[in-house]
Amino acid sequence: MPIKVLSPEVATKIAAGEVVERPASVIKELLENSLDAGATDITVEVRGGGIDYLRVADNGCGIPSGEVELAFQRYATSKLQTSSDLEAISTLGFRGEALPSIAAVSHISLLTHASSDETGTVIEMQSGRVLRLERQGAPPGTTVTVRHLFGDFPARRKFLRSIASETGRIHALATHYALAYPEIRLALVVDGITSFAHTGGSGDMREAMASVYDSEVAGAMLEIAPHGARTQDTGLAVWGIISPPSLTRANRSYIAFFVNRRWIQSRLLMYSLEQAYHGFLMERRYPLAAVNVSIAYEDVDVNVHPAKSEVRFRRENHVFSCLQEAVRRTLIGFSPVPSLPTSRSEEARLVPKGEARSFWFSQVAQGAQGSLPETLSHAPVPRETLPILRVLGQVQNTYIATEGPKGMYLIDQHAAHERVLFEKVREDIQKRPGSFQTLLEPVSVELKPHQEELVQSQRELMSRVGFEIEAFGPGTYLLRGIPNVINTANPKEAFLEVMDFLAEGGGFEEWKERFAYSIACHGAIKAGMTLSYLEMSELVRQLERSHQPHTCPHGRPTMIYLSSSHLEREFGRR
């Protein structure tokens, strides 16, 4: 399409705004132009944080000589013509704003050579005025060089951060584009030193990640299970790579989202991803991820943000749940301990019936009987499986040593019991009313104002999990029943401890999960407690039946696996 100035009617429909905020935003616009031009080889070069000098060179389609000057006019674009084109934008650019905005605040030169032309063209501009426009030999493609950004605008320059911080932003930007376009050769050169050079080629995201991060990280990443979120009806697809729960970072800067390969910021997608990892990660740890959402152009509006870095989805909920499901399936499909086919034939031998059961034992056992819920709080997901394990004994009154068909499993008794109780309470909440034990004598408890508020606002969940409590006087309540899974001689203390856990939340946002976490936390057997063989067997059996036996509610492992081949190697038998 030739470059044309948009009609005022179309131009006013464009979410215009300041596109040139800092060097990284200039590079973003130039990179997007190169990608729109079909380039397969792009080199980004910066000096002095991009403020002194930046250059983006591509081997794309180039600009025909006769259109070069026009490209620097406001609202001049080759990417759309009518306002109906705005409804299904397939290019990264569409406003015809970037080149004129950059030219207005810098010294810019653009050297280009389109295949329709014999030779190339160069244009040089300073603060919006053309200094030079002439024919000049050039390789196919376009090279844009920007010097002295905001040179005549000291006020704008003041808003820039240090050179190191501007360079950091540029690095992050280039990294994200390398991940989004694994098939493109993309190099970043900072102050004369190659920061990364992704060779493109295979189009594999893992390979791109190896070039921009490191190969060890890239090797550990999981590919999002391909059929996880492809929904035939809407043509929405989620693909990309995510880190296993064992590979995390302290902040979210290693998470990138792309919609139709446009790098965007999205609270919706971030929340969806975090929900998918919920229960897999420890508090305040974040995964690494590069996630693409491919969606019909008309189902997403990219014309909502000046820097085009946010989008609006027509069906937000659908996008949210597709992403969450795809990620969750991938995480569950990847199990840190191997999934082996389970045969229940050994079960009878493991758990002799009718044995005396000690204090917590009976409670765990109650949870196991009856049907198991096959649905989690969100989309149904395949279950992790554990082989049948035979208990060998207790180590340091903290770990249970067990044997499976292919090796040895060392189970953390507290983490494992926490997982079992967590799922049990969640199940109880679904059942309504939950199973509870009525106290022989109701006990009175004094509540602080914030605790009272909690009791009032969570009245329904309180009774669903089994806390029967009623107001008695000012600040005083009568506790009549406690959840079945709590077995204690001191119900009042148990109640207050659960209240404390609840107030703190344990990092869980949903109240249902906060309750499950709080009760599990309080009720789980502690490390250091001696367990009988039967108690251990029963706990292991409960764990086998859990939906996510490999991790505690906070994502810490419940067990460590020592495979027989590992043992053989360690003992030099192989």
- Contact between 428 and ligand ADP per CB under 6 A: no
Among Mg ion, ligand ADP, none, the one that 60 touches (CB under a kind-dependent 5 to 8 A) is: ligand ADP
- Contact between 93 and ligand ADP per CB under 6 A: yes
Instruction: Choose between 86 and 392: whose C-beta lies nearer to ligand ADP.
Output: 86
* Residue 56 β-bridge partners: 44, 144
Give the ranges where 8-115 is alpha helix by DSSP (H): 8-11, 23-36, 98-104
CB 286 within 8 A of CB 255: yes
- Contact between 3 and ligand ADP per CB under 6 A: yes
Look-up: residue for tokens 């704008």?
A: 156
Which residue's CB atom is positioned nearest to ligand ADP?
A: 93
* Residue 231 β-bridge partners: 236
Q: Which of 24, 31, 63, 229 binds ligand ADP (CB under 6 A)?
A: 63
Q: Which of 25, 45, 94, 486 binds ligand ADP (CB under 6 A)?
A: 94
Instruction: Choose between 302 and 499: whose C-beta lies nearer to ligand ADP.
Output: 302
Among Mg ion, ligand ADP, none, the one that 229 touches (CB under a kind-dependent 5 to 8 A) is: none
Distances (CA, A) of 111 to 51, 104, 132, 142: 20, 18, 11, 6
- Binding segment for ligand ADP (CB under 6 A), chosen from 53-61, 152-160, 219-227, 348-356, is 53-61
Among ligand ADP, Mg ion, none, the one that 99 touches (CB under a kind-dependent 5 to 8 A) is: ligand ADP
Q: What angle do CA 530, 534, 540 make, to 5 degrees?
A: 90
CB of 313 to Mg ion, least distance (A): 23
CB of 119 to ligand ADP, least distance (A): 16
Among Mg ion, ligand ADP, none, the one that 78 touches (CB under a kind-dependent 5 to 8 A) is: ligand ADP
Burial 316-325 (b: 16+ CB within 10 A, else e): eebbbbbbbb
User: Where in 31-50 is the site for ligand ADP (CB under 6 A)?
Assistant: 33-34, 37
Q: How many chain residues bind ligand ADP (CB under 6 A)?
A: 23
Assign 3-class secondary structure to 260-312. Answer: CCEEECCHHHHHHHHHHHCCCCCCCCECCEEEEEECCHHHEECCCCCCCCCCE
Instruction: Choose between 99 and 218: whose C-beta lies nearer to Mg ion.
Output: 99
CB 548 within 8 A of CB 426: no
Q: Which of 65, 78, 195, 260 binds ligand ADP (CB under 6 A)?
A: 78
Instruction: Choose between 25 and 175: whose C-beta lies nearer to Mg ion.
Output: 25
Look-up: residue for tokens 């909502």?
A: 304
Residue type, 193: I
Assign 3-class secondary structure to 425-474. Answer: HHHHHHHCCCCEEEEEEEEEEECCHHHHHHHHHCHHHHHHHCCEEEEEEC
- Contact between 26 and ligand ADP per CB under 6 A: no
Look-up: residue for tokens 């950059």?
A: 102
Which residue's CB atom is positioned nearest to Mg ion?
A: 93
Cα–Cα distance, 371 to 366 (Å, whole number): 11
Cα–Cα distance, 312 to 294 (Å, whole number): 14
- Binding segment for ligand ADP (CB under 6 A), chosen from 29-37, 254-262, 287-295, 341-349, is 29-37
Residue type, 250: A
CB of 275 to ligand ADP, least distance (A): 35
Provide the mask over 95-134, with x wherever binding to ligand ADP is found by CB under 6 A and - wherever it is not.
xxxxx-----------------------------------
Residues forming the site for Mg ion (CB under 5 A): 33, 93, 98
- Contact between 142 and ligand ADP per CB under 6 A: yes
CB of 16 to ligand ADP, least distance (A): 11
Interface with ligand ADP by CB under 6 A: which residues?
3, 29, 33-34, 37, 58, 60-63, 71, 76-79, 93-99, 142
